[in-house]
Amino acid sequence: MDAVNVKGTRRRVLVAGGAGFIGSHLCDALLSDGCRVICVDNFLTGARSNVAPLENHPDFELVEHDVCEPLSIDGHLDEIYNLACAASPPRYQADPVHTMMTSVLGTRHLLTLAEKSGARFLQASTSEVYGDPETHPQPEDYHGNVNCTGPRACYDEGKRAAEALCFDHLRLGLVDARVARIFNTYGPRMQADDGRIVSNLINQALRGEPLTIYGTGRQTRSFCHVADLVAGLVALMQVEPNPGLPVNLGNPGEFTVSELAALVHQMVPGAGAIVYGPLPEDDPKRRRPDISRAKTLLGWEPNIPLRDGLKETIAWFRMAPLAQPRRHAAKRQYREAV
């Protein structure tokens, strides 16, 4: 990645949601590439500890702000990545109206900032726009099967609306907007209590508790290491010309939830037996990205094997600080629901 823009100055990049799991890894990558980085976050689900090592970096600036409110940043920006949005089901369901507004109003405010500051824009969308898919694996032209009235709709429909906003701004010639549809991502800095399957199983295993599988365990997921994902986001932001289409970013390796649980069980000595719980509402049965478009347009594909990534993530969770208190405590009972 080239750290300078066309004017020969170092790229100035805003990362909304930059204190979160993926966002903080993206801030790290951009800084190591020589960019100047402005991280905007309201710490709803992000952790200060994720960006604490960057706070004294001369090229890093932290702005505490809720993107549901308009945002003003002086000067030219080269790029805006919008990752602001709680991604874990218990967290985004705890305040569903705020979740929807984060995706809709937040994306609109950041697109307006991109228009004013001349920045290129990348929206972190999600495989959840495919809902419980009837097409497998999921290519980008599959329009999805989302329940627009269910408990996950605040997230899924919010993200769908945000995509529409991005493509409207692109078609209107206002912003060079790009959309990444991110599939399940895992790695260091996931939150221990975020209700997602990888963190759930690892933390149960580390505590010596039984490993809970929700449903039969035959449902499938694809797991992409965060370093692979960040490389894909940067490649999509950089690619010329703008693909003008959403791009799936994820790992096409498909595992059943039972296979994942067995792997974690094998890798963490002392893990308890596997037990079964009820499947959450609207939980997708199969999920696997078709990444042909990313391969062709970006020359990108993930290359970190699940076993290697899990090893690193398990090691990180062994050392991780206790989960910090969140501004909105989840109202729903904890359950794995990726």
Ligand X SMILES: NC(=O)c1ccc[n+]([C@@H]2O[C@H](COP(=O)([O-])OP(=O)(O)OC[C@H]3O[C@@H](n4cnc5c(N)ncnc54)[C@H](O)[C@@H]3O)[C@@H](O)[C@H]2O)c1
Question: Per the omega criterion (within 30 degrees of 0), is the bond before 241 cis?
Answer: yes
- Please give the angle made by the CA atoms of 261, 224 and 193, to the nearest 5 degrees: 55
Q: If binding is defined by CB under 6 A, does position 85 make contact with ligand X?
A: yes
Active-site hit among 81, 92, 155, 214: 155
Considering the rule CB under 6 A, would residue 248 count as an interface residue with ligand X?
Answer: no
17 touches ligand X by CB under 6 A: yes
- Check binding of 337 to ligand X (CB under 6 A): no
- The SS3 assignment for 169 reads helix
**203 scored as a contact of ligand X (CB under 6 A):** no
Considering only the stretches 65-73, 138-146, 205-213, 288-296, report the one whose residues sit in contact with ligand X under the rule CB under 6 A: 65-73
- The three-state secondary structure class of 63 is strand
Gap between the Cα atoms of 211 and 228, Å rounded: 27
To the query of whether residue 155 is one of the catalytic residues in this protein, the response is yes
222 forms part of the interface with ligand X (CB under 6 A): no
Q: Looking at residues 26 to 45 of the shown chain, list those that interact with ligand X (rule: CB under 6 A).
A: 41-45
In angstroms, give the least distance from the CB of 179 to ligand X: 11
Q: How many residues bind ligand X (CB under 6 A)?
A: 27
Q: Does 102 bind ligand X (CB under 6 A)?
A: yes
- Among 117, 138, 185, 220, which residue sits at the site for ligand X (rule: CB under 6 A)? 185
Interface with ligand X in residues 273-292 (CB under 6 A):
none
Closest distance of CB 224 from ligand X, Å: 8
Q: Binding of ligand X at residue 19 (CB under 6 A)? A: yes
DSSP 8-state class, residue 3: S
Contact predicate 89/152, CB 8 Å = yes
Cβ-proximal residues to 210 (8 Å cutoff; 6+ apart), any chain: 204, 272, 273, 274, 275
Tokens of 61: 């600036």
Q: Which amino acid is at 334?
A: Y
What is the nearest approach in angstroms of ligand X to the Cβ of residue 263?
18
Could you tell me which of 199, 201, 181 has the C-alpha nearest to residue 189? Answer: 199
Cβ proximity of 54 and 303 under 8 Å: no
Select the residue interacting with ligand X from 89, 106, 131, 289 (CB under 6 A): 106
Binding of ligand X at residue 310 (CB under 6 A)?
Answer: no
Which residue carries 């790029």 as its tokens?
79
Positions marked active-site: 155
| Interface positions with ligand X (CB under 6 A) | 17, 19-23, 41-46, 66-68, 83-87, 102, 106, 124, 126, 182, 184-185
